[in-house]
Amino acid sequence: MKAAKPIKSQAPKANGHVPPFKLAKLLDPEAPWDKDQLGDVLHWIRQVLGVFCGLVWGSVPLVGAIWIVV
């Protein structure tokens, strides 16, 4: 089993801002997540997925009640 990586907390800087989120953290299966970060990531993944599905469904010219069921 791998040794646990030390958790680096993202403390606010002197101006009160938190450092920017790193995309590489999404691809690291052993990355530590706190509750706020996980909530933010899941929210934005859902938003991007919603926009993508909206564009796909909007570009397909299907009409009629049968396509609402599908």
Measure the CA–CA gap between 9 and 12, rounded to whole angstroms. 9
Segments of the chain scoring below 50 in pLDDT? 1
Compute the Cα dihedral for 41, 42, 46, 52 and give only its sign: positive
Domain positions in the chain are 33-69
Question: What global pTM score does this model have?
Answer: 0.53
Give the tens place of pLDDT for each residue, 14-25.
Answer: 555 555 667 777
Token pair listed for 34: 């706190």
